[in-house]
Structure 1
């Protein structure tokens, strides 16, 4: 890439950021965003006033690789009600949302999730949450996953420098680790941060269903690419699936993926290859959680064989989990687990030697006297089930070749079982001994024991018959499950930003607006309006609903309507006792203390003092320390120092009566140290009279009774 392109892109980004920071003209801001939006990767426009057609692709690549993330972070820092209010709703969707939804999806998702975590309740946070909702409802996750599948493959085809090849995977691994961590823990992050304001789209059930559907759509694209002999990589999907399994989310994810994989792998070899690559390519630390879910949820071992293929022969971790940990260390109640494991090992000739090895090891452990004494009955019964399930898959050749080893190990263990004082252990030894001799040598001498037959005995003996393919019943169950999932899936919303409180300007449609065009002909717009003194003035600016937005409005010294709107609701926001009030209380009081009535706002003094007083009441420690310290600081006027005293006195009076809780959140009228305009017109009183009245009010007098002596 030429140095001129890099310089031009850097210059354009700098000009747009400068315009967004300084300009207050909506058309100028819109024009700057349109110039930069040409460089977005998903922008279909091919004409640019800054770059020629031959250099546009290089400019887009430079912007996406080196400037996109920093610009998004700058863009988010500028989000505010006042700043976006100038653009209008349609322009906001066209310009602002485009930079996040049509850009580099993985970078945009990480930046938005990080911005939500770092921000406090405000318009900025609500807007980021709204954009994240659109990521889920507009299938942006699918595009993000497919981009990752194409990244590695494209990189191998384009890169020829060996140093770049060595460095590139580490860069992707770092990005993928961060992205996968955010995706796997996204519902917990949003719930912890948003709490009661959390969106239903981020609830675990709906979120992981949406995530799994996006993964499935990406797998369909991978399947199409493989059939078309195109290169693609499943490394990101493997990393994501393993992370979800180890986080305990294998259930909701496989509830979506497993029925679809089962259907598609029935007769399609390419789908079997895709499934095998996905399931056997997860990280080693995630294999156990994935396999544990598969062996308990797959309805037939033939399905497990199609999903995993010969992965057990190539992946040592998978081999260890299936043939050792799931059989010798863990145990499951359902017979389906041992039937799936042993049937999977016996499904193909390449895996059958592993079946024999596993069966011999099972008999060896089953026959050990120490294992009989020191393991629980459930674990030992589980070993017996695995032996019977493995015997069901032996063919005649394998029986003849391994008859001596099986009988030798069996006879060593039968005596230990019969010598056990536990009746159930003795019965297990009898059932396994009868089954092994009958299966391995059907024409030879058979062992026969007398034991009580019950339901458990029937379940054990049923394992000698391999389960059959459920076939059509499984298809009906999967179709029913998909119908239910579609009914409970997240609905598509036209504008998710309207669901967040305080984000959009409400527009009510009056009944008169439904009338025809005849009403427009009778318009009274030509009549001269009268000045009605009782009319209520409507503010042009929307009142803030968060403390931080209120702070931004009070700081803005150029917008009178916005400052008045923020000052009028400041006390109400404080008395709502928001969680982040303690973080901004001192800053709020400092702003109010230095605030001046430059725009002749009505009741400015009362609103300012009541807001300072409410902040002091709910954060007395922080605010009182600040006010008492600033009272003796230089460069304060007499009015400001009297304001400090009045706020402290009023807060002390309100806090001294905690039992009197009124329904109205407004504070009681306080004794003002400064005279009001009405009090200034009255006749001044002498200070001696005032002091004397106070003394008389607090003086108690006792009368003396005169006693008359006769």
Structure 2
């Protein structure tokens, strides 16, 4: 089970209602099918041992649910069982308690049947169990405790078996919503909890057979944006089992396959033709490869209200040692494990045999669809079928799956058929052994004609991969050896073998070396070397060293031909120009004058153009997209985007979502994605959903710029113009949730343009893709319908984009320019140092002597010198210059240019922002650069200001990490403090006490002018201002300005990581109990206090102050006077940040206790500076308390 699979909680109602008989009888006879069973039940009841209760039917259903999940997902199946009235005390083992079916059966064995006497508090017990279920979903599983790079989406399912009426359903929905919201709030404060991002509540109303059900269709309802409810009616017996199967397939993305035409062994012996069917359950990904190549409607059937894919048993003899190429392999489980048919199939597979499954009754149109992916001769058919004509589809046999047992585990493989398999996706190898100085197009055409794609399979390193598989294969062992887990050793060995593992023989020289050099590749893979191995290794190295000394070449085999690209002298120049950034000058004439004219009619030229596009730099693809249209893209790319992950990532991810392209280019790409059904299903649907998900994300709405938000809205409008291609089969619920959640978040925004666009896009989506009926269309009347943006977005969604595609662009204006006339990429710095150049010469003939005294000196006052330093123009060039610390001039230039580059390339800089911070933070020298510390600090602050969430999280974590000096940690605090000051714009947020504490005074003593860099002296100067009445009088005339503090949304990322680990004792850092200098602790307390000031007028301020006051209270008795001085300063910051209005009684209590401690410090403290500061803070505190009382 992958990391994203959901948790499942099953709740069983243990009330008296389920002690009633269900109408289902125990029968000791094993029947072949349900029809025979019903006939036997009607004829006689002599074999009936009694009637099952509703409780027994539910337990059997739940055990079947668990069995199938354990068979398919094994230990990764996250299941927990809750029975109302049964106390679940050990909540820490929610997801470790049930790991196999035996544990589940032991759990039910210890529970008595329901009491026939009803209890008064059945609803309360059900409510308590529902609370336990949501607690379990919010509790971390084993995988969630392991930190990973990918974001984990905590989702789950709650299945409740009980009896319901409308009132009870409403109560359960209300309770579930309350429990979910409360637990998500708890998860933000508790490490053991994780917020629940999605929860499906399934209610199953279980009834006896004699009670009819109102409907057989499930009812769906969204309780909130995260919580969804599904309601089923089910009668005990077969209907309950069917409902269980429907829930299982939907919740865990499973599928049902019917293996039909299995011959009975007894029937074969008696020469009869009776066959039987077996249903198996497996992950739905098994049918992905088949779905991509043919419509599943030809083999899809509805069986007992459940969809199944029917595959035919093949009697073709097949050796399991010679596997077909497979796309995927998954475990499967028989649906009815106790039936005779399932037992026969299971025993047959466990005996070491395998079975091929084929697509029965292959229709003509499906055969054509499949043949698009490969030659008919490439079908994985039997030898008998190869003699048949493949045009007669009635005789074709196409194997699509294989079922087999691996290490006593039942597995189903999806077989690769046609040419569309991993082996045939690899491009052809062009072998060039004789390099010429010049090569013409005709020579290239002849070369391509000689290429045989079939030789590719001969070039594959098949034998090497077989050896790797054999080396790393695991076999069952009875006992563990040396306490190691075998899979770990195998994975480690596999990683060593595949660090350098070329696919083709002609792609490597190293693995083609004869003896003794080939010993290097074999010995280096071993974990330990014996003495004999070491001697062989040294002998090989000595042999290579002698070859190098003698100038001998490597002993490459005679039959070896290294795969190279066509490299001539002209080609070398072209590659050089491409590296220097002249890509379009190389590709443009080929694109316009050659490929556009010839590719539409000549497959050879099309193939050559595709080689240029897919084997070279991305700039060529981007140029083609910018200057072409959808028809050109369809011609060059066709459906290769489906089979080439790199091309798919570049077009769909890089261009559409990482580069903000012009809307015309976006339209061209989207039109191309809709020109094929395969592209629509795999690419266009994904792009549309991703646009919707970004549009409905709260962080995107809050932090995106105006242009970024408009770009996403325009892309969605263009997608809506292709509403005929938008399919709502499996994604309707997801799209509805994105739309409704996105509209809500847009309406909550404080910006008019965001609210306007949110309402318009919501209307357009619901209108064009028909999410609801026509009577339930969403209409807003609160925005201007005639606004230019509204008209533009509406027009984009209404027009037929295919008729609006671009014409081929022409850029002939630059044809006359040569490559060498292009402006240099890097400009040269000219530094003026003089004003004029003047040389005055005398006539040498009139001089009596030959000295140079008569010459006037050369005036350099206006000369200019050209420096060799190149100013970086791109962010990655700047990054490279910062790394090269041996070139001081380039380093200084990069430090000066970095702020400008960050402003120019904000999006590109985000990718390397962390790397820039690491480099700047870890400099251990000033490199003799003027104002180096100032430049470094300024760059770090700018990076943190532009990417506050990313950089602040990194800096706060690194502050408590090892391998940092005190100076570096102090620098981190300074960065955080200055960034917070800029983000909060504290100069615009004024309070009365803040003015007293931080306003400057020209009449202050001049003795402190030289102590500008000392924070102690700055604090003393500012605190002295509170005793001067002239400031108080001036404040009366000053107008108060109250402004929203935008820093409040992210202040927690700066504050809480710093204060959380301050008391954590490390070997390399102990702030509170350490014996080192306490200056770092003083600076940290000062930084925390300043962050509280910068968080004024925010909702999180009270909580921040409480945590800081608790910390300061624990440090009040610190022995170091500097720390006590910093504590009092931090107290002053809390007073300033809270202002004159304090509605929190706890904070008022804190301040009263603070006054008592300050009185004690003023009298008892031995340090005069601490006493003086305490007196000043005490005066502010008294005034603050007085103002609070007055207000």
Q: Normalising by structure 2, what TM-score? A: 0.22
More helix by share: 1
More strand by share: 2
Q: Normalising by structure 1, what TM-score? A: 0.35
Greater length-normalized contact order (CA 8 Å, ≥ 6 residues apart): 1
